[in-house]
Amino acid sequence: MIRRSFGDGMRVSVLGVGCGRIASISNPVPMREIEATLEAAVEAGVNLFDTADIYGQGDSERTLSRLLLRHRDRMFVVTKVGGRHSRYAGVIRLAKPLLRVVVRSRPQLHNAVVRARAATVSYNFRPHDLSLAVEGSRRRLRLDQLDGLLLHSPSLETLRDPEVHDFLAELLHSGRAAHVGASVKSLPEVEAALSIPTITMLQVPLAVAGALSGTAIIEHIRHRNIGVFVREILEGVRLGTCSPREAISAAITPDFVTAAIIGVSTRRHLNESLSVFS
Protein backbone atom coordinates (compact mmCIF):
# COMPACT_ATOMS: atom_id res chain seq x y z
CA MET A 1 0.00 0.00 0.00
CA ILE A 2 1.35 3.43 -1.01
CA ARG A 3 1.99 5.75 1.94
CA ARG A 4 2.37 9.51 2.17
CA SER A 5 3.76 11.56 5.02
CA PHE A 6 2.59 14.64 6.89
CA GLY A 7 3.44 16.59 10.00
CA ASP A 8 6.60 15.31 11.63
CA GLY A 9 6.98 12.52 9.07
CA MET A 10 4.02 10.35 10.07
CA ARG A 11 3.31 8.03 7.16
CA VAL A 12 -0.23 6.87 6.41
CA SER A 13 -1.76 4.74 3.67
CA VAL A 14 -3.28 6.73 0.82
CA LEU A 15 -6.43 4.70 1.35
CA GLY A 16 -8.07 5.29 4.72
CA VAL A 17 -11.05 3.37 6.06
CA GLY A 18 -13.98 5.50 7.15
CA CYS A 19 -15.69 4.01 10.19
CA GLY A 20 -18.81 6.18 10.33
CA ARG A 21 -21.20 3.26 9.82
CA ILE A 22 -19.59 0.82 12.24
CA ALA A 23 -22.29 -0.28 14.70
CA SER A 24 -24.75 2.12 13.07
CA ILE A 25 -28.44 1.27 13.41
CA SER A 26 -28.87 1.95 9.69
CA ASN A 27 -26.08 -0.41 8.62
CA PRO A 28 -27.49 -3.85 7.70
CA VAL A 29 -24.06 -5.53 7.62
CA PRO A 30 -23.50 -7.91 10.59
CA MET A 31 -20.79 -6.83 13.02
CA ARG A 32 -18.79 -10.01 12.41
CA GLU A 33 -18.43 -9.02 8.73
CA ILE A 34 -17.52 -5.44 9.63
CA GLU A 35 -14.82 -6.65 12.04
CA ALA A 36 -13.50 -9.10 9.43
CA THR A 37 -13.35 -6.22 6.93
CA LEU A 38 -11.33 -4.07 9.33
CA GLU A 39 -8.95 -6.97 9.95
CA ALA A 40 -8.57 -7.48 6.18
CA ALA A 41 -7.80 -3.80 5.73
CA VAL A 42 -4.92 -3.97 8.20
CA GLU A 43 -3.58 -7.11 6.52
CA ALA A 44 -3.73 -5.30 3.15
CA GLY A 45 -1.49 -2.51 4.48
CA VAL A 46 -4.14 0.10 5.34
CA ASN A 47 -3.10 1.88 8.52
CA LEU A 48 -5.39 4.95 8.46
CA PHE A 49 -8.78 4.63 10.17
CA ASP A 50 -11.19 7.55 10.56
CA THR A 51 -13.87 7.65 13.26
CA ALA A 52 -15.62 10.03 15.68
CA ASP A 53 -16.91 9.89 19.22
CA ILE A 54 -20.54 10.06 18.03
CA TYR A 55 -20.31 7.32 15.40
CA GLY A 56 -22.45 4.39 16.52
CA GLN A 57 -23.01 6.09 19.90
CA GLY A 58 -19.31 5.47 20.63
CA ASP A 59 -19.34 1.87 19.39
CA SER A 60 -17.22 2.72 16.34
CA GLU A 61 -14.36 3.69 18.66
CA ARG A 62 -14.98 0.63 20.85
CA THR A 63 -14.79 -1.67 17.82
CA LEU A 64 -11.53 -0.08 16.69
CA SER A 65 -10.11 -0.49 20.20
CA ARG A 66 -10.36 -4.27 19.83
CA LEU A 67 -8.47 -4.06 16.53
CA LEU A 68 -5.86 -1.83 18.17
CA LEU A 69 -5.21 -4.47 20.82
CA ARG A 70 -3.99 -6.79 18.05
CA HIS A 71 -2.39 -4.28 15.66
CA ARG A 72 -1.33 -1.20 17.62
CA ASP A 73 1.87 -0.69 15.63
CA ARG A 74 0.01 -1.04 12.30
CA MET A 75 -2.77 1.50 12.85
CA PHE A 76 -3.14 5.30 12.88
CA VAL A 77 -6.61 6.15 14.20
CA VAL A 78 -8.06 9.62 13.70
CA THR A 79 -11.10 10.47 15.80
CA LYS A 80 -13.26 13.60 15.95
CA VAL A 81 -14.92 15.50 18.79
CA GLY A 82 -17.38 18.37 19.04
CA GLY A 83 -20.60 16.59 18.12
CA ARG A 84 -22.77 15.04 20.78
CA HIS A 85 -25.95 13.01 20.95
CA SER A 86 -29.01 13.89 23.00
CA ARG A 87 -29.46 12.45 26.46
CA TYR A 88 -31.33 9.52 24.90
CA ALA A 89 -28.19 8.18 23.18
CA GLY A 90 -27.58 5.67 25.97
CA VAL A 91 -31.06 4.23 25.58
CA ILE A 92 -30.63 4.06 21.81
CA ARG A 93 -27.34 2.20 22.23
CA LEU A 94 -28.95 -0.41 24.50
CA ALA A 95 -31.80 -0.90 22.04
CA LYS A 96 -29.52 -0.96 18.99
CA PRO A 97 -29.48 -4.75 18.40
CA LEU A 98 -33.27 -4.78 18.18
CA LEU A 99 -33.43 -1.59 16.12
CA ARG A 100 -30.94 -2.95 13.59
CA VAL A 101 -33.06 -6.09 13.13
CA VAL A 102 -36.13 -3.94 12.54
CA VAL A 103 -34.34 -1.74 9.99
CA ARG A 104 -32.94 -4.78 8.16
CA SER A 105 -36.41 -6.29 7.90
CA ARG A 106 -37.99 -3.01 6.79
CA PRO A 107 -35.62 -1.18 4.38
CA GLN A 108 -38.15 1.61 3.96
CA LEU A 109 -37.31 2.72 7.51
CA HIS A 110 -33.66 3.40 6.64
CA ASN A 111 -34.05 7.06 5.63
CA ALA A 112 -36.30 7.78 8.59
CA VAL A 113 -33.72 6.33 10.98
CA VAL A 114 -30.93 8.39 9.39
CA ARG A 115 -32.98 11.59 9.71
CA ALA A 116 -33.95 10.84 13.30
CA ARG A 117 -30.33 10.11 14.24
CA ALA A 118 -29.08 13.36 12.67
CA ALA A 119 -31.74 15.32 14.54
CA THR A 120 -30.33 14.14 17.89
CA VAL A 121 -26.83 15.50 17.19
CA SER A 122 -25.75 18.97 18.37
CA TYR A 123 -22.31 20.60 18.42
CA ASN A 124 -20.40 22.05 21.34
CA PHE A 125 -16.83 23.35 21.13
CA ARG A 126 -16.39 24.83 24.59
CA PRO A 127 -12.89 23.77 25.69
CA HIS A 128 -14.11 22.16 28.92
CA ASP A 129 -16.60 20.00 27.05
CA LEU A 130 -14.08 19.21 24.32
CA SER A 131 -11.70 18.02 27.04
CA LEU A 132 -14.35 15.69 28.43
CA ALA A 133 -14.99 14.38 24.91
CA VAL A 134 -11.28 13.69 24.40
CA GLU A 135 -11.20 11.72 27.65
CA GLY A 136 -14.17 9.70 26.45
CA SER A 137 -12.42 8.88 23.17
CA ARG A 138 -9.21 7.91 24.94
CA ARG A 139 -11.21 5.61 27.20
CA ARG A 140 -13.18 3.95 24.40
CA LEU A 141 -10.12 3.53 22.17
CA ARG A 142 -8.03 2.50 25.19
CA LEU A 143 -5.25 4.86 24.19
CA ASP A 144 -3.26 7.13 26.48
CA GLN A 145 -2.36 9.25 23.46
CA LEU A 146 -4.72 9.67 20.52
CA ASP A 147 -2.98 9.32 17.16
CA GLY A 148 -5.05 12.11 15.61
CA LEU A 149 -7.79 14.38 16.95
CA LEU A 150 -9.99 16.53 14.72
CA LEU A 151 -12.60 19.14 15.56
CA HIS A 152 -15.81 17.74 14.04
CA SER A 153 -17.46 20.23 11.65
CA PRO A 154 -16.55 23.39 13.61
CA SER A 155 -17.97 26.77 12.60
CA LEU A 156 -15.84 29.65 11.37
CA GLU A 157 -16.22 31.27 14.79
CA THR A 158 -14.95 28.12 16.49
CA LEU A 159 -11.96 27.89 14.17
CA ARG A 160 -11.04 31.50 14.95
CA ASP A 161 -11.55 31.20 18.71
CA PRO A 162 -8.23 31.69 20.60
CA GLU A 163 -9.52 29.46 23.42
CA VAL A 164 -9.96 26.59 20.96
CA HIS A 165 -6.44 27.26 19.61
CA ASP A 166 -5.11 27.05 23.17
CA PHE A 167 -7.07 23.86 23.82
CA LEU A 168 -5.49 22.11 20.82
CA ALA A 169 -2.04 23.30 21.86
CA GLU A 170 -2.62 21.93 25.36
CA LEU A 171 -3.63 18.54 23.93
CA LEU A 172 -0.27 18.30 22.20
CA HIS A 173 1.69 19.64 25.16
CA SER A 174 0.04 17.20 27.57
CA GLY A 175 0.57 14.28 25.22
CA ARG A 176 -3.13 13.43 25.01
CA ALA A 177 -2.93 13.67 21.21
CA ALA A 178 -0.03 13.32 18.78
CA HIS A 179 -1.64 15.30 15.94
CA VAL A 180 -4.56 17.74 15.88
CA GLY A 181 -6.64 19.37 13.16
CA ALA A 182 -10.15 19.98 11.89
CA SER A 183 -12.74 18.27 9.71
CA VAL A 184 -14.34 21.10 7.72
CA LYS A 185 -16.93 21.57 4.99
CA SER A 186 -15.91 24.66 2.98
CA LEU A 187 -13.00 26.64 1.58
CA PRO A 188 -13.45 29.54 4.07
CA GLU A 189 -13.29 26.98 6.88
CA VAL A 190 -10.03 25.60 5.45
CA GLU A 191 -8.57 29.12 5.54
CA ALA A 192 -9.79 29.66 9.11
CA ALA A 193 -8.36 26.30 10.21
CA LEU A 194 -4.97 27.28 8.83
CA SER A 195 -4.92 30.15 11.34
CA ILE A 196 -4.46 27.53 14.08
CA PRO A 197 -0.68 27.21 14.61
CA THR A 198 -0.72 23.64 15.89
CA ILE A 199 -2.78 21.81 13.27
CA THR A 200 -1.14 19.15 11.12
CA MET A 201 -4.33 17.60 9.69
CA LEU A 202 -7.27 18.79 7.60
CA GLN A 203 -10.21 16.65 6.50
CA VAL A 204 -12.25 18.03 3.60
CA PRO A 205 -14.92 16.87 1.12
CA LEU A 206 -13.70 15.98 -2.36
CA ALA A 207 -15.39 19.09 -3.79
CA VAL A 208 -13.40 21.33 -1.44
CA ALA A 209 -10.16 19.55 -2.31
CA GLY A 210 -10.93 20.29 -5.96
CA ALA A 211 -11.49 23.97 -5.16
CA LEU A 212 -8.11 24.11 -3.41
CA SER A 213 -6.20 23.16 -6.55
CA GLY A 214 -4.26 26.07 -7.98
CA THR A 215 -4.82 28.38 -4.98
CA ALA A 216 -2.22 29.98 -2.74
CA ILE A 217 -3.65 27.91 0.12
CA ILE A 218 -1.91 24.83 -1.30
CA GLU A 219 1.52 26.39 -0.80
CA HIS A 220 0.64 27.14 2.82
CA ILE A 221 -0.42 23.53 3.31
CA ARG A 222 2.78 22.25 1.68
CA HIS A 223 4.99 24.61 3.69
CA ARG A 224 3.53 23.34 6.96
CA ASN A 225 3.36 19.73 5.72
CA ILE A 226 -0.30 19.48 6.72
CA GLY A 227 -2.01 16.18 5.99
CA VAL A 228 -5.07 16.56 3.76
CA PHE A 229 -7.58 13.72 4.11
CA VAL A 230 -10.34 13.76 1.49
CA ARG A 231 -13.80 12.37 2.22
CA GLU A 232 -17.10 12.01 0.30
CA ILE A 233 -15.27 10.33 -2.56
CA LEU A 234 -17.99 8.08 -3.91
CA GLU A 235 -20.75 10.55 -4.77
CA GLY A 236 -19.99 10.05 -8.46
CA VAL A 237 -20.34 6.30 -8.00
CA ARG A 238 -23.79 6.75 -6.47
CA LEU A 239 -24.76 8.97 -9.39
CA GLY A 240 -23.44 6.41 -11.87
CA THR A 241 -20.85 8.75 -13.44
CA CYS A 242 -17.75 6.75 -12.45
CA SER A 243 -16.58 3.51 -10.88
CA PRO A 244 -15.13 3.25 -7.33
CA ARG A 245 -11.71 2.64 -8.89
CA GLU A 246 -11.95 5.83 -10.98
CA ALA A 247 -13.24 7.89 -8.05
CA ILE A 248 -10.48 6.84 -5.65
CA SER A 249 -7.77 7.20 -8.27
CA ALA A 250 -8.92 10.76 -9.09
CA ALA A 251 -9.10 11.67 -5.38
CA ILE A 252 -5.50 10.72 -4.61
CA THR A 253 -3.97 12.12 -7.81
CA PRO A 254 -3.29 15.68 -6.50
CA ASP A 255 0.08 15.71 -4.75
CA PHE A 256 -1.27 17.77 -1.84
CA VAL A 257 -3.75 15.02 -0.92
CA THR A 258 -2.42 12.69 1.75
CA ALA A 259 -5.21 10.11 1.73
CA ALA A 260 -8.74 9.33 0.56
CA ILE A 261 -11.19 8.20 3.25
CA ILE A 262 -13.59 5.52 2.02
CA GLY A 263 -16.38 4.05 4.12
CA VAL A 264 -16.43 0.27 3.76
CA SER A 265 -18.46 -2.32 5.66
CA THR A 266 -17.78 -5.51 3.70
CA ARG A 267 -14.72 -7.26 2.37
CA ARG A 268 -16.16 -7.00 -1.13
CA HIS A 269 -16.33 -3.22 -0.89
CA LEU A 270 -12.84 -3.13 0.61
CA ASN A 271 -11.45 -5.22 -2.25
CA GLU A 272 -13.07 -2.90 -4.80
CA SER A 273 -11.26 0.03 -3.17
CA LEU A 274 -7.97 -1.85 -2.93
CA SER A 275 -8.13 -2.73 -6.65
CA VAL A 276 -6.92 0.81 -7.40
CA PHE A 277 -3.49 -0.22 -6.12
CA SER A 278 -3.20 -3.61 -7.78
| CATH value at residue 42 | 3.20.20.100
pLDDT digit string (tens) for 113-159? 555 555 567 889 999 999 999 999 999 999 999 999 999 999 999 99
Question: Does the pLDDT at position 45 exceed 60?
Answer: yes
Tell me how many degrees the CA angle 175-179-184 measures, rounded to the nearest 5: 135
CA torsion, ordered 265, 266, 269, 272, to nearest 10 deg? 130
Q: Is the pTM of this model over 0.85?
A: yes
Number of domains in the chain: 1
pLDDT digit string (tens) for 240-277? 788 888 889 999 999 999 999 999 889 999 998 998 88
pLDDT digit string (tens) for 198-212? 999 999 999 999 999
When comparing pLDDT for 172 and 84, which is higher?
A: 172
Burial state string for 75-93 with b = 16 or more CB within 10 A and e = fewer than 16: bbbbbbbbbbbeeebeebb
When pLDDT is cut at 50, 70 and 90, the band that residue 180 belongs to is very high
Question: Does the pLDDT at position 26 exceed 70?
Answer: no
pLDDT value of position 102: 57
Range of the domain at 153: 3-277
